[in-house]
A and B are shown apart, each in its own frame.
Chain A
Amino acid sequence: MPGDGFALDWVTVAVTIVVGFAAMGAAFLANAVLAPRRPSVDKATPYESGIRPGPLGWSQFNARYYLFAILFLIFDVEAVFLFPWALVFLQTASYVFYAMLLFIGILFFGVLYAWRKGVLEWR
Chain B
Amino acid sequence: MSVTLLDIVWAAVGAVALVTAVSILGVSLVWLERKFLGRLQGRPGPNRVGPFGLLQPVADGIKLLWKEDVSPGPSAKVLFYVAPLLVFVPSFVVWLTIPFTRDLALRNLDTSVFFFVAFSTLSIVGVLLAGWSAASKYSVLGGFRAAAQLVSYEIPLIVIAITMVALAGSMSFVDIVEAQRTVPYIALVPLAAVLFFIAGLAEIGRTPFDIYLAESEVVGGPLVEYSGAHWAVFYLAEYGNTFLVGALTALLFLGGWSWPFGTLPAPAAVALFLTKSYFVTVLIFWVRGTYPRLRIDQMMSLGWKILIPLSFVTLVTVVVQRFYGWPSWTLTLMSLATLALAAWLQTRLQGAPARALAEKYRRDAVVVQAKPRLHREAPAAAKVEASS
Contacts and interface: CB of A to CB of B under 8 A. Distances in A.
Contacts of A27: 65, 229, 232-233
A65 interface: yes
Interface in A4-47: 4-5, 7-9, 11-13, 15-21, 23-25, 27-28, 30-32, 34-38, 41, 43-47
B228 A19 contact: no
B296 A19 contact: no
A72 interface: yes
Contacts of B92: 16, 20
Residue among A4, A34, A79 with most chain B CB within 10 A: A79
A68 interface: yes
Contacts of B81: 28
Contact of A87 (B139, B165, B228, B232): B165
A9 B151 CA distance: 28
Interface in B267-325: 296-297, 300-301, 304-305, 308-309, 312, 315-316, 319, 322-323
A11 B319 contact: no
Interface residues of A, number: 70
Interface string B102-125: 000011011001100100010000
Interface stretch (B129-137, B183-191, B256-264, B336-344): B129-137
A38 B151 CA distance: 39
A53 B136 contact: yes
Contacts of B134: 46, 57
Interface in B221-251: 224-225, 228-230, 232-233
Contact of B96 (A12, A54, A122): A12
Nearest to A5: B1
Interface residues of B, number: 87
For the complex, would chain A's binding face be called helix, strand, loop or mixed by DSSP majority? Answer: helix
For the complex, would chain B's binding face be called helix, strand, loop or mixed by DSSP majority? Answer: helix
Contacts of B16: 19, 23
Contact of A57 (B106, B136, B152, B165): B136
Contacts of A32: 69
Residue among B14, B64, B65, B117 with most chain A CB within 10 A: B65
B305 A72 contact: no
A111 B18 CA distance: 40
Given A17-B89, A79-B159, A97-B323, A45 B166 contact: no
Contacts of A12: 11, 14-15, 96, 106-107
B75 to A, nearest CB: 8
A15 B17 CA distance: 13
A49 to B, nearest CB: 8
B3 interface: yes
Given A24-B88, A24-B89, A108-B309, A121 B297 contact: yes
B382 to A, nearest CB: 45
Contacts of B69: 31-32, 35
25 contacts: A8-B7, A11-B7, A15-B11, A15-B15, A20-B19, A28-B81, A28-B229, A31-B65, A34-B66, A37-B68, A44-B73, A46-B72, A53-B136, A57-B140, A61-B144, A64-B144, A68-B148, A69-B147, A72-B154, A76-B121, A79-B117, A79-B159, A83-B162, A86-B319, A115-B304
Given A11-B7, A28-B229, A111-B304, 11 more contacts: A8-B11, A18-B12, A20-B15, A35-B65, A35-B66, A45-B73, A57-B138, A61-B140, A61-B144, A89-B319, A104-B315
Nearest 9 A/B pairs, CB to CB: A65-B148, A31-B229, A44-B73, A46-B136, A19-B15, A122-B297, A86-B166, A57-B140, A20-B89
Interface of A: 1-2, 4-5, 7-9, 11-13, 15-21, 23-25, 27-28, 30-32, 34-38, 41, 43-48, 53-54, 56-58, 61, 63-65, 68-69, 71-72, 75-76, 79, 82-83, 86-87, 89-90, 94, 97, 101, 104, 107-108, 111, 115, 120-122
Interface of B: 1-3, 7-8, 11-12, 14-16, 18-19, 64-75, 81, 84-85, 88-89, 92-93, 96, 106-107, 109-110, 113-114, 117, 121, 132, 134-141, 144, 147-148, 151-152, 154-155, 158-159, 162-163, 165-166, 169-171, 219, 224-225, 228-230, 232-233, 296-297, 300-301, 304-305, 308-309, 312, 315-316, 319, 322-323
